[in-house]
Amino acid sequence: MTRTTAEPGTRTVDESARTPEQHATARRSARRSRDRRHKLVFHLVTGALVVVVLYPAVWMLVSSFRPSAQIIGNVSIVPTEVTLDNFVAAFNGIGGVSFWTFFMNSTILAVGSVVGIALSSAVSAYALARIDFRGRRVWFGLMIATLLLPVHVIIIPQYIVFNNLGLVNTYWPLLIGKFLATEAFFVFLMVQFMRNLPRELDEAARIDGAGHLRIFGSIMLPLMKPALVTSSIFAFIWSWNDFLGPLLYLKDPNLYSLPIALRLYVDQTTGAANFGPQMATAVLALVPVLIFFIIFQRYIVEGVATQGLKG
């Protein structure tokens, strides 16, 4: 609010008989109604955007309760015929593999990724942000450079390496990199976060006789909670939704994760595609991600809010 313009005496008042106070009040109420109008337009536009963005999700939810034959070509989100058959079919699994197997596989991969990324990235970030070793800047630069490599360039060499190690059709190819801090994005995120933490904290700890392990474990790790939570959320969601990795490395249907299982319902070349159970599985697959996000999102906000108060 630009209140200063309404201060008496700061403006010439000869254009009307109104006192400066009256003038200011009139202007203020005019502005307020303009603000209200702006707010209304703003809310209408964002509301419309929300509808556009959420429509497919709502459609998916409604479709999961529709008979399979009524799903395709039907854009309505008003349920006409409600059935639970899709969910029954979804829980029955595919090709002799139960839904819970897929669910467990996805969970193992996601939890493994979260643990791996949180541990390895925090340790690597500590080294890059706090320890002065020879070539630190070069190593940091190299790590950032791996962010620039398109995934598609490394798929095949990586596959050949894992294949020669005999690790294809296990979870190792999908998890080991995460335990070795190869996800440069997360390392970078944590390095930046750690650089913002005051150095005086670890210097004080060092004077008290703490080594690197102690400083990392007792000083840095607790302070890094927001960065760890942010990383965990992304790691979880990315792993949960990852399709290409499991597609290439997992051969046994008993090891498939949910995104692969989702595709097994709708093979267009095998007669009528079964969209109902696919929708139902998709809805079920979304639930953990939603829960995870709802639980942890406040930490993101908290992280931003406490950022300025450190020290």
Partner 1 sequence: MKRCMRIAAVLTAAALTTTACGSSGSGDGGEDGGDVNLTMTWWGNDDRAQRYNEAIEAYEAENPGVSVTTSFVDYPNYWPARATEAAGRSLPDVMQMDVSYLRQFASNGQLLDFAEVEGDGVDLSGLPDPLIPSGQVEGAQYGIPVATNAFTLFTDAAGLAQVGVELPENPTWEEYHDFLREVATAGGTTEDGQPVYGAGDYTGVFWMFIHWLNQQGIEAFTEDGELGFTQDDLETWLSSVDDLRAEGLLIPPARINQLSPLSPFDAGETTSEMTWDNFAAGYATNNPDVELELQPIPSDDPENPGLFLKPSMLFSIGANTDHPEEAAALIDYLVNDPEVGDVFGTSQGLRASSFQRDAMTMEGLDAEVAAYEESIEPLLVDSPPPPVEGFGTIEARLLEITENINYGTVSVEDAAAQWYSEAEQTLADNQ
d(CA 155, CA 158): 5
Q: Give the whole-angstrom CA distance, residue 136 versus residue 114.
A: 26
Q: Closest approach of Cβ 1 to partner 1, in Å?
A: 53
Q: Which of 64, 231, 239, 274 binds partner 1 (CB under 8 A)?
A: 274
Nearer to partner 1, 6 or 83 (CB): 83
Evaluate whether 63 touches 279 at the Cβ level (below 8 Å).
yes
Q: Who's near 155: CB < 8 A, 6+ residues apart?
A: 244, 248
Q: Give the binding range for partner 1 (CB under 8 A) out of 44-52, 76-84, 163-171, 198-206.
A: 163-171
Nearest 10 degrees: Cα torsion 60, 64, 65, 67 = 110
- Candidates 115, 119, 210, 273: give the one binding partner 1 (CB under 8 A): 273
Question: For partner 1, which stretch binds (CB under 8 A), given 2-10, 40-48, 138-146, 210-218?
Answer: 210-218
For residue 17 the two structure tokens come to 């008989």
**CA separation for the pair 136, 199 (Å, rounded):** 18
Of 6, 61, 115, 167, the one binding partner 1 (CB under 8 A) is: 167
Q: Which is nearer to partner 1, 207 or 272 (CB)?
A: 272
Give yes or no for residue 209 binding partner 1 (CB under 8 A).
no
268 binds partner 1 (CB under 8 A): yes
Find the distance separating the first CA and the last CA of the chain, reported in whole Å. Answer: 32
Q: Which of residues 27-86 bind partner 1 (CB under 8 A)?
A: 69, 72-73
Rounded to whole angstroms, what are the CA distances from 77 to 47, 59, 66, 189? 18, 5, 10, 40
Q: Is 222 or 271 the residue whose CB approaches partner 1 more closely?
A: 271
Say how far apart CA 267 and CA 250 lie, in whole Å. 19
Our CA dihedral for 39, 40, 45, 51, rounded to 10 degrees, sits at 120
136 binds partner 1 (CB under 8 A): no
Q: How far is the CB of 113 from partner 1 (least distance, A)?
A: 16
Q: Alpha-carbon distance 76 to 7, whole Å?
A: 57
Does residue 115 belong to the site contacting partner 1 (CB under 8 A)?
no
Query: Which of 59, 91, 139, 159 touches partner 1 by CB under 8 A?
Result: 159
- Choices 20-28, 39-47, 75-83, 267-275; region in contact with partner 1 by CB under 8 A: 267-275
| Local structure of 256: helix, strand or coil | coil
Task: Select from 1-9, 92-100, 191-199, 290-298 the region that touches partner 1 (CB under 8 A).
Answer: 92-100
| Distance, CA of 52 to CA of 46 (rounded, Å) | 10
Given a contact cutoff of 8 angstroms between Cβ atoms, the answer to whether 57 and 46 are in contact is no
Asked whether position 265 contacts partner 1 by CB under 8 A, the answer is yes
Q: If binding is defined by CB under 8 A, does position 94 make contact with partner 1?
A: yes
Interface residue with partner 1 among 118, 235, 264, 283 (CB under 8 A) is: 264
The tally of CA atoms less than 13 A away on the side-chain side of residue 250 is 24
Kindly tell me which residue out of 54, 149, 156, 204 binds partner 1, with binding defined by CB under 8 A: 156
Residues that bind partner 1 (CB under 8 A): 69, 72-73, 94-96, 155-156, 159-160, 163-168, 170, 172, 176, 179, 211-213, 244, 247-248, 251-253, 260, 263-274
